[in-house]
Chains A and B, each alone.
Chain A
Amino acid sequence: MDSAVSDTSPLAAAVDLGGTKIMAAIVGPGHRVTGRVKTATDVRGGAEAIVPQMAATIRKAADKAGVGLKRIAAVGACVPGPADPATGVVHRAVNLAWDHPIPLADQLSRELKGIPVTLENDVNAGTYGEFVAGAARGMQDVIGVFVGTGIGGGIVLSGELRRGPRFIAGEVGHTILQVDGPLCSCGSHGCAEVLASRSALERRIGERLAAGEKSAITQLLAKKKRKRLTSGIIRRAWKRGDPLVVEEVREMARHLGLLTASLVNVIDPQMVVFGGGVVEKMEDNLLNLVRESAYGNLMAKPGFNIVAAALGDDAGPVGAAALARARAGIDG
């Protein structure tokens, strides 16, 4: 049995529901994570079919950690949409094709023989995880920015997650940075997400390659037998000094810096934590450019840190488990 769960204290399970995969893990005292399991999400049957998949993934995680479900006192569930932890309702989840409210916490709790389930938006949970156990540990006012297919975010104010009355607080990706910019999936133009996400980077590089420009990307994709641009390939091309990639990454960072400056001017946090695959791969190569852009566009002098997230894929589960433990009155 892993040392994270070897004593007899009550444990939390966490499950991170995504559009393509479900991750579950057991989280012990001190936010120690063990028994990580990933399964593919089958979205075809809607919520009714996904709830048993989530429960099965949690059971697998408990088995892998060497603990029975009886040791699990609370479950934290990360969901890709606005969620109300008080009612346990997910209001919608575009990636799962859920367009109406679903009482997911009750459904999952029933599937797990009554273990209480606490829902949280996945990016909120990730930010909270970084706040309780990751890069922002010890801070009180934190903004999380997670750069991936889109750009998500979370806000911790005075040590509390800010959700808002409609549970959409922290949607930093839809901050408009460029009036009349490219059309975003939300219907607005020039959102951070359509200018500075990994998808935006991929789109712009693709457009330039299609227009006949040369880049090491073409070779790297062929070598890796991939059709889509990954964060790893972007990093390799950057390290080679590929002019097209360097230019586009700089543009991405410039926009992320503008986003950061706008958020900091409103919230005045102690720290802005950047996460997501492209940040993990590029590390300070990207964040130094983000800092340069952010610090150059602040209303006041810099007095906050821009740092990389520390927990990777564990951030959401750690945050969701911490929230579930607190709600269930479990220490640790």
Chain B
Amino acid sequence: MAESTTHLLLGRHGENDYVVEGRLAAALGDDAGPVGAAALARARAGIDG
């Protein structure tokens, strides 16, 4: 998945501009679910890393 870093002006809310710096899209694509599920499983099983 393409990764782009940018400043994204989200809008004006009262007196504040909210500016978010970061990725415009999630970084892991189809791996996100498996990575998350594996991390939870490792934590539950007490495996480091």
Interface of A toward B, CB cutoff 8 Å? 99, 186-188
Contact = CB atoms under 8 A, between A and B. Distances in A.
Interface in B6-48: 12-15
B43 to A, nearest CB: 16
Interface centre among A99, A186, A187 (most CB of B within 10 A): A187
Question: When A and B form their complex, which 3 residue pairs have the shortest distance between CB atoms, in order from nearest?
Answer: A187-B14, A187-B13, A186-B14
Interface of B: 12-15
Nearest to A185: B14
Contacts of B15: 99
Contacts of B14: 186-187
Contacts of A99: 15
A188 B14 CA distance: 9
Contacts of B12: 187
Nearest to B18: A166
Contacts of A187: 12-14
Nearest to A94: B14
A269 to B, nearest CB: 22
A93 to B, nearest CB: 13
Most chain A beta-carbon contacts within 10 A, residue among B12, B14, B15: B14
Contacts of B13: 186-188
Contacts of A188: 13
Nearest to B15: A99
A80 to B, nearest CB: 15
7 contacts: A99-B15, A186-B13, A186-B14, A187-B12, A187-B13, A187-B14, A188-B13
A92 to B, nearest CB: 9
A276 B21 CA distance: 38
A188 B15 CA distance: 13
A291 B23 CA distance: 40
A99 B14 CA distance: 12
A178 B31 CA distance: 36
A65 to B, nearest CB: 40
Contacts of A186: 13-14
